[in-house]
């Protein structure tokens, strides 16, 4: 066997005594550990129930406004009221999931602002 660098005979298969070439063994790479998926925090059950009840309540209010009078302004307000109910869908998050009542209160403030001022 000959040295791949200087082409002189090798007496030791791991090192050449003429040019100090050393054999580097390729070590197999260790497989990377599979990362576990991070569990997302879920809302508590009371928050989900309260949110869907609020969606239903606001939709009923909007529908009652729509069916009571058929003027253009009332119809417009009824549509805005029904659309503002969509903010209470539990999957729409506006902050930290650790404080669901703060999120719920903030959603009420935004919904009332939309219903009153638009």
Tell me the C-alpha distance between 41 and 55, whole Å: 22
Contact assessment for residue 105 and residue 94, using Cβ atoms and an 8 Å cutoff: no
- Measure the CA–CA gap between 45 and 18, rounded to whole angstroms: 77
User: How does the average pLDDT of the chain come out, rounded?
Assistant: 76
Q: Where are the domains of the chain?
A: 45-117
- Assess contact for 33 and 49: CB atoms under 8 A: no
How large is the average pLDDT for residues 22-46? 73
Residue-level pLDDT at 118: 66
Helix pair 45-68, 100-117: axis angle to 10 deg: 10
Classify 22 as helix, strand or coil. Answer: strand
What pLDDT digit, counting tens, does each position of 82-99 carry?
777 777 777 766 666 677
């Amino acid at each position: 066997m000959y040295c791949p660098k200087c082409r002189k005979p090798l007496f030791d298969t791991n090192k050449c005594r003429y040019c100090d070439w050393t054999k580097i063994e390729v070590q197999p790479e260790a497989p990377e550990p599979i990362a576990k998926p991070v569990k997302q925090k879920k809302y508590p059950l009371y928050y989900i129930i309260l949110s869907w009840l609020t969606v239903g309540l606001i939709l009923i209010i909007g529908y009652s406004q729509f069916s009571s009078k058929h003027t253009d302004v009332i119809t417009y307000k009824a549509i805005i009221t029904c659309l503002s109910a969509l903010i209470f869908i539990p999957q729409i998050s506006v902050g930290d999931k650790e404080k669901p009542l703060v999120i719920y209160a903030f959603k009420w403030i935004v919904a009332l602002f939309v219903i009153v001022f638009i």
